[in-house]
Amino acid sequence: MGVILKAKDLCKTFSNESVQQHVLKNLNIEIDEGEFAVIMGSSGSGKSTLLYTLSGMERPTLGNIAIRGEEISGYSNDRLAVFRRKNCGFVFQQNYLNDTMTALDNIMVSGLLLSREKKKIAEKTAGLFEKVGLSRDTLHKYPAQLSGGEAQRVAFVRGIINTPSVLFADEPTGALNSKSASQVLDIFTELNTQGQTILMVTHDMKAAIRGSRILYLQDGVILDELRLGAYSPDDDKRPEQLRGFLREMGW
Ligand SMILES: Nc1ncnc2c1ncn2[C@@H]1O[C@H](COP(=O)(O)OP(=O)(O)OP(=O)(O)O)[C@@H](O)[C@H]1O
Ligand SMILES: [Mg+2]
């Protein structure tokens, strides 16, 4: 299994009229295929900025980003958009579902960006719904008719409908109660077990513990990292390992 995402000397600076804020400062990161990488760090440290920059949603100020060996930094907006559709899936804290469309149509919109085969996308969606524990009638419900956890699972299916090389998630459990959160986390774990590469930002210990590797962002760089290996709920040393690491980081 090789490197699937690599960023070199990544800089991201936000400039207002008077001040420049250097959020990412020559940051380097490498994510291997099949990894479940978690980015932690204090609020405002630049976790979301890093995620959006790595996924090609935002442009770096300086530096290089390669996904599957493709250097995306120099891509035009159009080329980048096409690349992102094929390779990058997203799950956010808010589900960003379109309220005027059914769950199925919300996913269809994403699926149709890559394929014209409506029937195949609908079948794939139904299969994924089953996998994430959503009943068939959910397909035809509108977002307002779904619970928070259901809506997040629909958004999850939308994030993976095009079988992305990397699934990017920003605080995916942030808006959920603990039962819904653990259901959503189980899906992350299951997908990762099946080989899905995941890069997740979270400040939630219950989410972070699922990761195979924890990267701590501070002062614009990855300060340190902890390798936890594959998640197992029976591993009772794991929570203490994570807590110890975060204590060391001053979290
Ligand atoms: N589009 C933007 N324009 C200007 N400044 C920005 C922009 N996006 C983020 N920032 C600034 O960059 C810094 C990092 O923001 P970011 O959202 O990446 O932090 P975070 O680690 O995700 O925080 P949180 O844990 O609260 O979500 C913040 O100080 C923020 O104000
Ligand atoms: Mg954030």
pLDDT score, position 228: 97
Residues 207-242: tens digit of each pLDDT: 999 999 999 999 999 999 999 999 999 999 999 999
Residues 181-212: tens digit of each pLDDT: 998 999 999 999 999 999 999 999 999 999 99
Q: What span, in angstroms and rounded, lies between the C-alpha atoms of 73 and 60?
A: 8
Protein residue whose Cα sits closest to atom 9 of ligand 1:
49
pLDDT score, position 11: 98
Output the average pLDDT for the chain: 96
Per-residue pLDDT at 1 exceeds 90: no
Ligand 1 centroid distance, CA of 220 (Å): 11
Residue 21's pLDDT band (boundaries 50, 70, 90)?
very high
CB of 96 within 6 A of ligand 1: the answer is: no
pLDDT score, position 23: 98
What 8-state DSSP symbol labels residue 220?
Answer: T
Q: Alpha helix locations (H) across 20-177?
A: 47-54, 77-87, 103-111, 118-131, 148-160
Helix, strand or coil for residue 88?
strand
The closest of 88, 84, 89, 110 to 98, measured between CA atoms, is: 110
Q: Alpha helix locations (H) across 103-233?
A: 103-111, 118-131, 148-160, 178-193, 205-208
Ligand 2 centroid distance, CA of 45 (Å): 8
Substitution candidate for ligand 1 out of 10, 12, 47 with most atoms within 8 A of CB: 47
CB of 23 within 6 A of ligand 1: the answer is: yes
pTM score of the predicted model: 0.96
Residues 89-148: tens digit of each pLDDT: 999 999 999 999 999 999 999 999 999 999 999 999 999 999 889 999 999 999 999 999
Per-residue pLDDT at 34 exceeds 90: yes
**Residues near 18 by beta carbon (within 8 Å), at least 6 away in sequence:** none
Protein residue whose Cα sits closest to atom 27 of ligand 1:
43
Ligand 1 centroid distance, CA of 240 (Å): 29
Protein residue whose Cα sits closest to atom 25 of ligand 1:
43
CB of 43 within 6 A of ligand 1: the answer is: yes
CB of 220 within 6 A of ligand 1: the answer is: no
CB neighbourhood size of 238 (10 A): 16
Q: Which two tokens stand for residue 61?
A: 């100020």
Helix, strand or coil for residue 90?
strand
Mean pLDDT of 47-72: 97
pLDDT score, position 108: 96
Q: Which two tokens stand for residue 230?
A: 């594959």
Residue 43 alpha carbon, nearest atom of ligand 1: 25
Question: Do the beta carbons of residue 242 and residue 71 sit within 8 Å?
Answer: no
pLDDT score, position 204: 95
Q: What span, in angstroms and rounded, lies between the C-alpha atoms of 218 and 3?
A: 23
Residues 104-113: tens digit of each pLDDT: 999 999 999 9
Per-residue pLDDT at 51 exceeds 80: yes
The closest of 182, 97, 191, 89 to 138, measured between CA atoms, is: 97
